[in-house]
Amino acid sequence: MQQEVLLAMLAKEPSYGYQLRARLDRALGPLGEAMNAGQIYVTLGRLEKAGLVGSERASGLPERPDRKVYSLTAAGQSRVAEWVSEVSWPKPDLAEFHLKLIAAAAAGLADPISIVDAQRRELLRRLRDAQRAVMAEPGQSDSALLLEGIVLRLQADLAWLETCEQTWTVRRGES
Amino acid sequence: MNDTSEPVLRARGLCKFYGKDESLVRAVDGIDLDVAAGETLAVMGPSGCGKSTLLHLLGGLDRPSAGEIRLAGERLDQMGERALARLRRSAVGFVFQAFHLMDELTAAENVELPMLLDGRSPRAARRRAQDLLTQVGLTDRATFLPAALSGGQRQRVAVARALANEPLIVLADEPTGNLDSAATLEMLRLFESLHAAGQTLVIVTHDARIAATADRLISMRDGAFADETRLTGGNTGRLADLAGLDG
């Protein structure tokens, strides 16, 4: 996860690490389970060193990362503002699969359609997992919205596989 | 009672042809299929692959050109019209893409209708219709006409109607084809609850979301089965990865 995410999570108010963790848990639901708390403190430490985050130890408690209240510095605030207005989007990696089909067909290594079938089975399994997770979430939760995004992406990938299958079926018929 | 190992639905060498000679269309071309009790089966494929025709044959809405179909051991393909109509009414529940509700009847009356046709008393039908509407989450919509319901609600009424006579099997043809994302999710939840209650379901769809919730998935091409998958295993670890949470 990007450091900026944690930084932005701090923008609401100065917080303990565990409060950040709770905010992330609410937003991510079942997807947040893989995240470990240690990672949050490591990232906070880095952000502090970079001057984007400041911290204050709650009085009378030992010097430990989990006893500190973290807050954004002025530099941190402007970094968050910058990040929020940035346009970025993860790149889908379709070329590799596309070239696999072309290479397999050209060299007679495998039937492109069975490659498509195998890929579809894998995506359907992922879709089923995502679907199960969506159904287990209360309707309007933040994490349901994220899971919905995963479901829609998988559907788009599956629709593309269907197009691949149709095209390669026609080509096989012609050759 | 049938032996429990016997499939609810069995088809052998099932064919449906249209036209003849040069213009012969093999809509369904030699299909063998067993559907086990309590199973949810999804049939997927591009439009025109014959999946809707297959569903119509399986439910006795259409006659095969060749082959046999057994529902709970009874040969549908050899049955007379009246016996077939009776069997359809009592043993098969249909759900269609366009809902096919009676516009002039309320939600409850739509659900009661197949029970009345099957000889149940009006009181018993009314009571069961209420229970079914509760089951599909529409208790407070019982007196509404279809026109006053959303697409998702209409389809849930249609599911309640399909269940009216406690069918051996529910056949659904693109049940989410006219639904938005939220209503699709409601429908998926409903199918899951039917599955959990042991209802046998065959769903023809090109909605991958539905297909992914089935026990078994068959891909159909050119009137025949091309690929079959059982969707098992998996955990949400992959999902975190798909969301970009890979560390």
Geometric angle at alpha carbon A168, from A167 and A171, rounded to 5°: 90
User: Is A30 in contact with B239 (Cβ distance < 8 A)?
Assistant: yes
Rounded to whole angstroms, the Cα distance separating B53 from B116 reads 28
* Predicted pLDDT at B1: 46
Rounded to whole angstroms, the Cα distance separating A119 from A104 reads 14
Contacts (Cβ under 8 Å, ≥6 apart) of B188:
A131, A135, B176, B209, B210, B213
Count of H helices and E strands in chain B?
8, 10
Residues B165-206: pLDDT tens digits?
A: 999 999 999 999 999 888 998 899 999 999 999 999 999 998
Q: Which two tokens stand for residue A71?
A: 């807050």
pLDDT band of residue A61 (cuts 50, 70, 90) is: low
Q: Of B190, B188, B233, which Cα lies nearest the Cα of B211? A: B188
User: Is A150 in contact with B247 (Cβ distance < 8 A)?
Assistant: no
User: Is B211 in contact with A124 (Cβ distance < 8 A)?
Assistant: yes
The residue of A31, A141, A162 whose CB has the most chain B CBs within 10 angstroms, and thus the best one to mutate to test that interface, is: A31
Q: Count how many residues are written for chain A.
A: 175
For β-strands B224-230 and B200-204, DSSP reports them as unpaired
Question: Is the predicted pLDDT of residue B46 greater than 90, yes or no?
Answer: no
User: Is A127 in contact with B208 (Cβ distance < 8 A)?
Assistant: yes
Residue B34 has phi, psi (to 5 degrees) of: -120, 130
Q: Domains, chain B, ranges and CATH?
A: 37-56+80-232 (3.40.50.300)
The residues on A that touch B, with CB distances below 8 Å, are 1, 28, 30-35, 39, 90, 117, 120-121, 124-135, 146-155, 158-159, 162, 166, 169
Over residues B49-74, mean pLDDT: 94
pLDDT band of residue B232 (cuts 50, 70, 90) is: low
A10 in Cβ contact with A56 (< 8 Å): no
Q: Which residue is closest to A35 within chain B, CA to CA?
A: B247
* Predicted pLDDT at B235: 53
Question: Is the predicted pLDDT of residue B101 greater than 70, yes or no?
Answer: yes
Domain residue limits, chain A: 3-85, 95-174
- Higher pLDDT residue, A162 or B202? B202
A168 in Cβ contact with A117 (< 8 Å): no
Q: What is the mean pLDDT of chain A?
A: 88
Class of domain A3-85: mainly alpha
